[in-house]
């Protein structure tokens, strides 16, 4: 994985956040895009003013678009690449390891979302209450259609060229994990969104472990997350979807 990037936050003077409106906790939402503007996937819809929203990118044009919708733009100093695998690898750093981004620290909960989707805002409070009752580190949705075997995730990923280009790396990673005693039949999660309890002592350890596994497995980070989840029982499936 690439090393830590220099980070610069640009908060437009017009952006203000309110913690009122019935929110339960000190929570922030963040999303990421790395790559050229021609490959843009970001959906910069206006933010919900009840929560701070941070958009992380190495592309100033993308950050300007998201800032116009009320997101706090955070620039990471990584070279823009036309290689989709290289760009995806860059984006995995703050996805798995938000501790690399100073602006994301100090919150009780962090909600990561894939930049193509919207957060189901009305379900956040209930999902947080569920996590509290379970003393959970990470809340995440079960995969909506794949069965309970990591090989289904591997097979599904072969439909996308950027994942298929790393198929041998994934095979080697899966083989190593199974040889080390971890299971193919497992809980299967969808990592397009995650809700993190940032006050739990295991949260950072899970993030650092996941980032290390991404370095071994490649950019198909749902496969590596499913193996990491076998090491931590405090990762729970949420009752309400995080994305719409």
- pTM summary value: 0.90
Residues 6+ apart with CB under 8 A from 57: 32, 33, 34, 42, 63, 66, 73, 74, 75, 76
Q: CA distances (Å), 56 to each of 21, 88, 118, 146, 174, in order?
A: 26, 13, 16, 30, 30
Query: Which pLDDT tens digit goes with each residue over 131-172?
Result: 999 999 999 999 989 989 999 999 999 999 999 999 999 999
Cα 225 to Cα 210: distance, rounded to the nearest angstrom: 6
Q: What is the mean pLDDT of the chain?
A: 90
Cα 179 to Cα 167: distance, rounded to the nearest angstrom: 18
What proportion of the chain, given as a percentage, has pLDDT over 70? 90
Task: Please compute the mean of the pLDDT values over residues 44-59 and round it to a whole number.
Answer: 93
- The number of C-alpha atoms within 13 Å of 56 and in the hemisphere containing its C-beta is 29
Question: 190: which strand partners?
Answer: 141
Query: Which pLDDT tens digit goes with each residue over 192-212?
Result: 999 999 999 899 999 999 999
Q: Tell me what pLDDT residue 210 has.
A: 98
C-beta of residue 115 within 8 angstroms of C-beta of residue 41: yes
- The helix or strand, by DSSP H or E, that contains position 208, with its residue range, turns out to be helix 203-217
Closest CA to 59 of 31, 85, 40: 40
Q: Tell me what pLDDT residue 18 has.
A: 33
Q: Tell me what pLDDT residue 219 has.
A: 98
């Amino acid at each position: 994985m690439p090393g830590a990037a220099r980070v610069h936050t640009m908060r437009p003077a017009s952006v203000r956040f309110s913690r009122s409106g019935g929110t339960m906790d000190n929570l922030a939402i963040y999303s990421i895009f790395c790559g050229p503007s021609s490959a843009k996937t970001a959906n910069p819809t206006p933010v919900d003013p009840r929560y701070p929203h941070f958009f992380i990118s190495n592309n100033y044009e993308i950050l300007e678009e998201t800032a116009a919708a009320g997101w706090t733009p955070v620039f990471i100093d990584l070279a823009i690449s036309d290689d989709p695998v290289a760009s995806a690898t860059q984006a995995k750093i703050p996805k798995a390891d938000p501790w690399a981004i100073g602006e994301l620290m100090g919150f009780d909960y962090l909600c990561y979302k894939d930049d193509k989707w919207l957060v189901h805002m009305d379900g956040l409070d209930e999902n947080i209450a569920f996590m509290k009752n379970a003393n959970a580190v990470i809340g995440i949705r079960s995969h909506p259609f794949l069965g309970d075997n990591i090989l289904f995730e591997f097979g599904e990923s072969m439909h996308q060229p950027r994942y298929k280009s790393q198929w041998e790396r994934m095979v080697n990673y899966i083989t190593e994990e199974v040889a080390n005693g971890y299971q193919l039949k497992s809980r299967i999660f969808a990592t397009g969104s995650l809700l993190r309890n940032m006050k739990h002592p295991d949260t950072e350890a899970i993030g650092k472990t996941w980032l290390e596994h991404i370095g071994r497995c490649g950019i198909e980070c749902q496969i590596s997350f499913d193996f990491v989840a076998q090491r931590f029982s405090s990762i729970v499936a949420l009752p309400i979807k995080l994305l719409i």
